[in-house]
Structure 1
Amino acid sequence: MGKTRSVNKVIITGTTGMVGEGVLICCLNSPEIDAILVINRKPCGYTHPKLKEIIHQDFFNFAPIEHELSGYNACFFCLGISSVGVAKEPYYKMTYTLTMHVAETLSRLNQNMTFCYVSGSGTNPNGKLSWQKVKGKTENDLMQLPFAQVYNLRPGFIKPIKAQKYAHTFYKFINWLFPIGRAVSKNGFCTMQELGEAMINTLSHHNERRVLEGSEIIKLAKEPS
């Protein structure tokens, strides 16, 4: 007899953005994922038998929807903003404070959860740039929460899936650079499919707390299910 597969129920945030949408598509297409809950401020535009969506405006207060958030064994946290043109205080609030509120809530409600946080290439708690420090602090503090596993993923340039609705339009003009960049630096270039599959494959691991750079994301994506 073959090995019995665990039931995987996943929460995904940020599915109205490029990264979250790409991860959602990967999960919808994966036989390894049985149920998906997405939490958004506006509808993501996807329907599927294994998909449930909650529209919730205040990500700093999950109390009204807490009863909907238990019974999941993974969270793929893809919500975030760029630091470009954003002052330090609001960036800290939207990157660190928001992420930690969501993570602390989910770690309390789901004891066996794997938490995957999409951070970014160049993240460094001791870096010179403010965004590097904020992302680094977020990574470090997530590691301290009582999750079964924590993965901080640091992709650089991400090549979107063709079917994506929310990919930035400029990708149409710069995707030709991907093979060149990939040849020069695997750490800096991965595909959305690889990022999504890497997250899904974390669910076959146990008791890990890891930071994954680009080349490690690619390697994890290639693991057999």
Structure 2
Amino acid sequence: MKFLLLSSLYMKTRARLYIALLLLSCCLASCDPIKYDYVSKYCPGSCTTLIGRITDQNGEPVAGAELWVSWHKPNYPLGGSTRQKAVTNTDINGNYALRFLLRDQELVEGYISLESGVSLNTYLSCSGNNRWYGGEISRDTTIVQNFTKAPSAMLQLNTTHIPDQPPRFQATVKYKLSPADPDSCTFAYDGSPGYFEDEVYVPANIPIVVYTHKPEAATTRKELLTLQPGEVRSYMLDF
């Protein structure tokens, strides 16, 4: 009887170990390592190009900043695929250019992202865009993306809402990337479709202005904020 119990326990242990190894092998098979896909020299007339300039808050060029473009296809919860498409460094004038070929799969699946050895949260831009999904980017296209390297902070826009009654709020966040900029950047938020939260990276130590609009009441509220470097501040859109 004791032998039968030990034999049964042994078989159960082996079965569990087999299942664990099978799951592990499946996970490893689905988590593709980073693949390098540098084919920019072989896509004349079909290249996608990202160009721009990186400067500091005094307008001086940032030389030697490393930037690269990657394609990502998440596969939750088992990982996904990544292909690094192109890599470069800014020149002495702060200029960069990344040229790469979008494969057929990459045009419809996953997303393309512009990345850096330094967190792009410290590279601020008016558009704030460094990720493009399928349908938002194409071949034989040039995208201009300039950055200002500056201490940053995050403004989290939130609003309360009643279930099944989306808030009718709109907000505009205006800021300058550096005090000497003649123009301001603008980030627009529209709560009417039912979006209750958004995040905006803004320069730290520089005043930003938040305008909250309530269209049905024809009212607008203006508030001046200054965030500290690295600060994450929640801002409630309400009256």
The two structures share one fold, judged by TM-score above 0.5? no
Tell me which interval the TM-score lies in, with the shorter structure as reference length: under 0.3
Which of the two has greater helix per residue? 1
TM-score normalised by length of structure 1: 0.25
Q: Which structure has the greater CA radius of gyration?
A: 2
